[in-house]
Amino acid sequence: MSEAITTPSNFIRNIIDADLADGRRTEVVTRFPPEPNGYLHIGHAKSICLNFGLAESYGGRCHLRFDDTNPAKEEDEYVEAIKRDVAWLGFDWGDHLYFASDYFDQLYAWAVQLIKDGKAYVDSQSAEQMRANRGTLTEPGVDSPYRNRSVEENLDLFERMKKGEFPDGAHILRAKIDMASPNLNLRDPAMYRILHAEHHRTGDTWCIYPMYDFAHGQEDSIEGITHSICTLEFEAHRPLYDWFIAQLGIHAPQQIEFARLNLSYTVMSKRKLLQLVEEGLVSGWDDPRMPTISGMRRRGYPAAAIRNFCERIGVGKADAWIDLSVLEDCVREVLNESALRRMAVLKPLKVTITNLPQPEVACRGANHPQQPERGERELLLTREIYVERDDFMEDAPRKFFRLAPGREVRLRNACVVRCDEVIKDDAGEAVELLCSCDPETFGANPADGRKIKGTIHWVSAVHGRQLPVRIYDRLFREENPDKAGDFRDCLNPESLLETRAWVEPALLEVAPGETVQFERTGYFTADAVDSKPGAPVFNRTATLRDSWAKLKK
RNA sequence: UGGGGCGUCGCCAAGCGGUAAGGCACCGGAUUUUGAUUCCGGCAUUCCCAGGUUCGAUUCCUGGCGCCCCAGCCA
């Protein structure tokens, strides 16, 4: 029997199943509606996977729509970056690429319609007055003195707002609902504001722009969205969206809210990410430490890992804090299957094999031990090699299965060596190890049956090369950087360590964007920006699990 | 002291009146020329609390408690 691939159940699927079952809906049309004011992050990935995933599994479609109603913050660079990221994640919006700005004429016509119906009016209070008259959480608001302007006057004023006769802030179009509503969003919310700003798509053809609240629901309606999925903070806005849709008498999408993703040891607000970029605290939106899609891509996280992650964490309405280890596990799961195995030494310690029978001994190393069909490459063992400093200890505990005076260890893909002598510098620091090898152990276990517990990696000092490597760690040292006052205070000073590693020759040919496993160390990806042909620069994507590190504690 | 949500293992999460899935983390143990991978095994008599309905409640009702969101001419 074949194993059924089951998509985890969640409350949104339950709602859709019910809608489909009772005929309330006959198809599923969703959308991912980013504002092009920044780069996408892992939280957006959750929404993208949800929306596109739902459309896919119900045989519907998912639109990519840019919510570009605020020209002051939006740019084409972001539009392009967002498209790139969604496509890279593996989703296809087909012909369904839309912009809120495509609907500006329609939105304007609807605003005029509401004015004519006596459902909207032009207010001329200042922003401060409006705020003062809005009331508080416990007290009702006060009607604006302009609330009962005639339809004619409202129409005239709104048209002149559009024509550019007034400066920013002079007037504003408001919905006439209820200044005493316990839901503040219903206290005559703003619909259109005057903004003499250049829009990234419509240029200067408009100087009034719809508010998100007056645009979003109608955009969904125009596109025939059936299930409008958004995050929890819009729950209290739903009655307003429903009100506009009802007044206008147009198709009503169903809004469903879910809890946004929170990841430990990172921040997720676009404002804070922008700040990190603008203040130069990271190298850019695609800095490999950023929780952005582009940062993770550059770091080497496979798209499949991010998709798995989004599936694994589920969808609910309870505030969720996901542990970073869940993401890392998803990354390792994919990379363990796909990455070729190579050897590289991060912190070198010289070893001389005093009795190597020939100047160089040809060895073979599997490209992937669990996938023999991927072949093997040749490795030349020479008299002088480098091993990892951490693989040697002067006074080693019993359980240390590596090099120590008098102890034996296996050189990965080669032979068994014993540490005979430690050469130290003036400071007493080991600078070189003199070892003797057992020539009978190339591709074989010791003939006398003695067990060699440890295997360490190495790089030939004559055939190896040095390459730049960037060791990345979590960007913040607090689980929740938002809770600690200024989030910048808990940046991890060791989130990036630039170093050089000794690598085996095959590593010179790793293509930009390709990920390999440095055996016993971690997964490393050739940086897509800084690598040159034949000279990759490696980013550490993820470490391997390390039960020895745990044991040490 | 307004309104809207949420509360199942350390972190997520299924469950929809019939006697607590799964993942991550964690702890054992096996295999291993990566202390990796893989593989076995352990990990909530209990579902925020207190009452109630019921033969039976995490699921229904009532009342508490706790947490989150809303007073932008941001989205």
Residue A360 has pLDDT above 90, yes or no: yes
Instruction: Provide, in whole angstroms, the distance separating residue A250's CA from nucleotide B52's C1'.
Output: 46
pLDDT given for residue A6 in this prediction: 59
A463, part of any domain: no
The yes-or-no answer on residue A128 being catalytic is no
CA–CA gap between residue A192 and residue A112 (Å, rounded): 11
The interface predicted TM-score (ipTM) is 0.96
Q: Could you tell me if A357 and A239 lie in one domain?
A: no
Which residues, 6+ apart, have CB-to-CB distance to A286 below 8 Å? A39, A292, A294, A295, A297, A298, A529
Ligand-binding annotation for A229, yes or no, is no
Q: For residue A16, is pLDDT > 50? A: yes
Q: Is the pLDDT of residue A2 over 50?
A: no
The integer distance in angstroms from the CA atom of A151 to the C1' atom of B18 is: 63
Question: What are the strands of the beta sheet with A97-99, ordered from one edge?
Answer: A29-32, A61-66, A97-99
A47 conformational bin, left if phi > 0, alpha if psi -120 to 50, beta if neither: alpha
Per-residue pLDDT of A363-422, as tens digits, reads 999 999 999 999 999 999 999 999 999 999 999 999 999 999 999 999 999 999 999 999
Task: Look at residue A114 in the predicted model and tell me its pLDDT.
Answer: 98
| Domain span including residue A440 | 347-456
Q: Does the active-site annotation cover A35?
A: yes
A312 in a domain, yes or no?
A: no
Residue whose Cα is closest to the C1' of B10? A323
Give the tens place of pLDDT for each residue, A37-58.
999 999 999 999 999 999 999 9
| H-helix or E-strand spanning residue A537 | none
- The pLDDT value recorded for residue A284 is 98
CATH value at residue A380: 2.40.240.10
Q: Where a domain ends, among A456, A480, A497?
A: A456
A70 is in an annotated binding site: no
C1’ B4 / CA A227, Å: 20
CATH number of residue A178's parent domain:
3.40.50.620
Final residue of a structural domain among A258, A276, A305: A258
Structural domain contains residue A486: no
Domain count, chain A: 2
Of chain A, the percentage scoring pLDDT greater than 70 comes to 99
A513 domain residue, yes or no: no
To the question of whether residue A150 is assigned a binding role by annotation, the answer is no
pLDDT value, residue A365: 98
Among candidates A161, A244, A497, A164, which has minimal Cα distance to A346?
A: A497
**Distance in angstroms (rounded) separating the CA atoms of residues A427 and A201:** 66
| SS3 of residue A349 by DSSP | strand
Residue A528: inside a domain: no
**Band of residue A550 on the pLDDT scale cut at 50, 70, 90:** confident
pLDDT band at A4 (very low <50, low <70, confident <90, very high): very low
Q: Among candidates A55, A162, A154, A59, which has minimal Cα distance to A108? A: A162
Average pLDDT score over chain A: 96
CA–C1' distance A544–B25 (Å)?
A: 16
Q: Is A162 a catalytic residue?
A: no
Query: In 10 A of CB A341, how many CB atoms?
Result: 22
A139-166 pLDDT tens trace = 999 999 999 999 999 999 999 999 999 9
Task: Enumerate the β-bridge partners of residue A66.
Answer: A99
Same domain membership, residue A214 and residue A355: no
Question: What is the Cα–Cα distance from A434 to A385, expressed in whole angstroms?
Answer: 11
Nucleotide nearest to A174 (CA to C1'): B73
Which residues in A180-199 are b (16+ Cβ under 10 Å) and which e? ebeeebbbbbbbbbbbebeb
What's the pLDDT tens digit per position in A183-200?
999 999 999 999 999 999
Categorize the per-residue pLDDT at A131 as very low, low, confident or very high, splitting at 50, 70 and 90.
very high
Q: Which of A193, A238, A270, A307 does the annotation list as catalytic?
A: A270
Looking at A216, A239, A258, which one is the last position of a domain?
Answer: A258
Which is the catalytic residue, given A13, A147, A201, A260?
A: A260
Bases in strand B with any atom closer than 7 Å to a protein CB: 1-8, 10-16, 21-27, 33-38, 67-75
Q: Rounded to whole angstroms, how far apart are CA atoms A445 and A410?
A: 10
Asked if residue A5 has pLDDT above 50, the reply is no
Minimum CA–C1' distance nucleotide for A168: B73
**Which nucleotide does the CA of A328 lie closest to, via C1'?**
B24
Same domain as A248, residue A356: no
Backbone dihedral angles phi then psi of residue A549, each to the nearest 5 degrees: -60, -40
Q: Closest residue to B25 by CA to C1' distance?
A: A325
